Structure 1
Amino acid sequence: WRVSTIGEAASVVGGSTPSTKVREFWDGPHAFATPKDLSLTSAPVLLDTARRVTEAGLAKIGSGLLPKGMTVLMSSRAPIGYLAVAQLPVAVNQGIAAIVCDRYLKPSFVLNWARQSMGEIESRAGGTTFAEISKSKFREVPCLIPTREVHDAFDDAAGPCYRLIAANTAEARTLAEFRDALLPKLVSGEMLPLGADSNGGP
């Protein structure tokens, strides 16, 4: 084991927000994450975002589109500490620190590291109106790096659990969308349960 920093163990990047006054930047195909998106997740996975950007909007974000499945997102302000693994390619705004696991640390490890290190992360925050940790300060947060053997054994155990969480969360979301689409039709009588007549009887 050795002591390093999260900035040495992974790539930490931030984002920005394209001008909301330019319509050509918005309502495109690319997911655009903000701390609010992270706050709405019921599990540590991000499946979609409230807003999307176009190619022109994406070009205004220096960090570009971050890879799905290997990017841990953390809100870096208002408040600090919402966490999720991106399950789709995503761009981020300035309120998110994105940890791209492009070395040997996997998202399962980084996610748990961030949870356990949140006190240390928050202690390095500044700001007068609300606490915020800069990306440069965040990169300096210590990270205890296990041997590859230990790390891989952990990921072999934890990785499938997180993948199952992601799959179950996606399935629950799909079922909720079906429910929301079908319930008004059932209530209005536009659709009937299988085997029911127009009077609601069998």
Structure 2
Amino acid sequence: MISEFKNYTLGEITKILNGSTPSTKKIEYYENGTIPWITPKDLSGHPFRNISRGERNITQLGLQNSSTKLLPRGTVLFSSRAPIGYVAIAANEVTTNQGFKSFICNEEIILTEYLYYFLIAKKEYIESLANGSTFKELSLTSTKNIPIKLPNLQAQKKVAETLGDLDRKIELNYSIIDNLEKLAERTYKYWFLDETIPDDRKNMIVRENVKIGEVVKIMGGGTPKTSNESYWENGDINWFTPSDLTSSKEIFVLDSQRKITREGLENSSAKLIPPYSLLLSSRATIGELAINQKSTTTNQGFIVIIPNEKISIYQLYFWAKLNKNKIISMANGSTFKEISKKDFKTIEIPIIKDTTSFNSIMHDYFKQIEELTKEIRILKLTRDKLTPRLIV
């Protein structure tokens, strides 16, 4: 596909810009702002190549009184600290904080989509260029000096289209999953929250509020001693941390970043959790949810809820999702907020007399979501194996 290359540095073929943060003490820099302001956190678990906005906006006044720049549509955003390596393409005009190096391509030499995949392919190399004692950061000078071998524009286009086809299918699947989750949430609300119950459903939907700790088993997790290699080396038992959930943003999780051994499990407070339980992060980032597809363990940053014949995983998932703010409000702590299992067990959950029809409907939704998630993993694996072969 590619035969001839020319050598450049990124500084020669792109305009590279830093971002910044308008003073957070000035409410007028943020309140009712309409200018998208992206931070690395906004890209954590972001499943799409393009991004149109982040969690916060800034105002025109905030833009004018800071060193952040208004970046045009098509700018490639690359997180340059905490962490290094998130990549996205601006879908419209955006600004960023100081955690980014943003690239405006000279499209007579390099295509935006090609640069996007180049930065992904070279993530480890780029990370090695970072410096810093508190946290690693990529400097503007180092970024400008990153070498790149470029094929001609036609070859770049073929590479971008090949990888883009895979990403478009991945993005389509995520969109379908999002729609299925919305339909499933509406179904949950109808059965458990709606005030008006049709006459033909009144005998089936008889609701009662009970404490969650009275109707399901609640478990916690633990961390095997990290200094003992035999607890970790060549481990094959999943061991989830809250960061696994925040980086995934998927309903179903199959594998954790780190794994423990059987010896590590037996010599710690970690517990083996049955498949299709609900993992709920209980500290640091509280309220992140996932359903484990196989037996797993977690660290102590979780409350794990085990479904049963009366309370299905489908009911637990949407109950926890819709009660996230309540769960967060019950957290305590000076160093970091955490909700205890004791307090969590007191939260009320609505139950109904007969869940057969509800579970049948929800099973279909969740089965489709699970299958689409499986397909996404295969597509990502294919893309990730192909990318370094196509990007020199």
TM-score bin (small chain): 0.7 to 0.9
| Aligned residue among 34, 55, 60 for 1:55 | 60
Cα distance, 1:22–1:117 mapped onto 2, change above 3 Å: same
Matched with 2:286 is: none
Cα drift, residue 175 of structure 1: 5.9
* Alignment counterpart, residue 100 of structure 2, candidates 85, 93, 96: 96
SS at match of 2:118: helix
Aligned AA for 1:35? Answer: P
Matching residue of 2:70: 65
Q: Computing the radius of gyration over CA atoms, which structure comes out larger, 1 or 2?
A: 2
Q: Which runs of 5+ in 1 are unaligned?
A: none
Partner of residue 132, structure 1: 137
When the two chains are superposed, the root-mean-square deviation of aligned CA atoms in Å is 2.9
One-letter code aligned to 1:10: T
How far apart, in 1, do the equivalents of 2:93 and 2:184 lie?
Answer: 27
Aligned amino acid, residue 127 of structure 1: G
> How big is the shift at 1:85?
2.1
Looking at both structures, which has the greater relative contact order when contacts are Cα pairs under 8 Å and sequence separation is at least 6? Answer: 1
Q: Distance in 1 between matches of 2:184 and 2:53?
A: 19
Aligned residues: 199
- Asked whether 1:141 is paired with 2:146, we answer yes
Amino acid at match of 1:103: E
**How many Å separate the matches in 1 of 2:90 and 2:196?**
37
SS in 2 for 1:115: helix
Kindly indicate whether the alpha-carbon contact (under 8 Å) linking 2:111 and 2:153 is maintained by their aligned counterparts in 1: no
Q: Give the Cα separation in 2 of the matches to 1:57 and 1:16.
A: 10
Residues 1:8 and 2:17 aligned together: no
Looking at structure 1, the residues matched to 159 and 20 of structure 2 have their Cα atoms a distance apart, in angstroms, of 34
> Using a 3 Å threshold, how does the CA distance of structure 1 residues 72 and 180 change in structure 2: closer, same or farther?
farther
8 Å CA contact 2:34, 2:57 repeated in 1 = yes
1:109 matched to 2:114: yes
Aligned-partner SS, 1:78: coil
Deviation at 1:41, TM superposition (A): 1.2
Pick from 41, 46, 49: which aligns with 2:51? 46
- Residue type of the alignment partner of 2:111: K
Q: Go from structure 1 to structure 2 and tell me whether the alpha carbon gap of 1:65 and 1:160 turns closer, same or farther (over 3 Å shift).
A: farther
Amino acid in structure 1 at the alignment position of 2:30: W
Structure 2 residue identity aligned to 1:99: F
**Would the aligned equivalents of 2:21 and 2:68 in 1 still touch at CA under 8 Å?**
no
Aligned residue for 1:19, secondary structure, equals coil
Letter in 2 for 1:82: Y
Question: Sequence identity of aligned pairs in percent?
Answer: 31
Secondary structure of the residue aligned to 1:66 is coil
Give the residue type in structure 1 aligned to 2:81: R
Could you tell me how far apart the structure 2 residues matched to 1:135 and 1:177 are? Answer: 42
1:108 and 1:158 in contact (8 A); partners too: no
* SS in structure 1 of the partner of residue 154 of structure 2: helix
- Please, what TM-score do these two structures have when normalized by structure 2? 0.45
Amino acid at match of 1:6: L
SS, match of residue 71 in structure 2: coil
Against the structure 1 CA distance between its residues 135 and 174, is the aligned structure 2 distance closer, same or farther, given a 3 Å change threshold? farther
**2: CA distance, partners of 1:196 / 1:41:** 43
When the two structures are superposed, what TM-score results if normalisation uses the length of structure 1?
0.81
In structure 2, the residue corresponding to 1:114 is in which secondary structure? helix
Shift of 1:10: 1.7
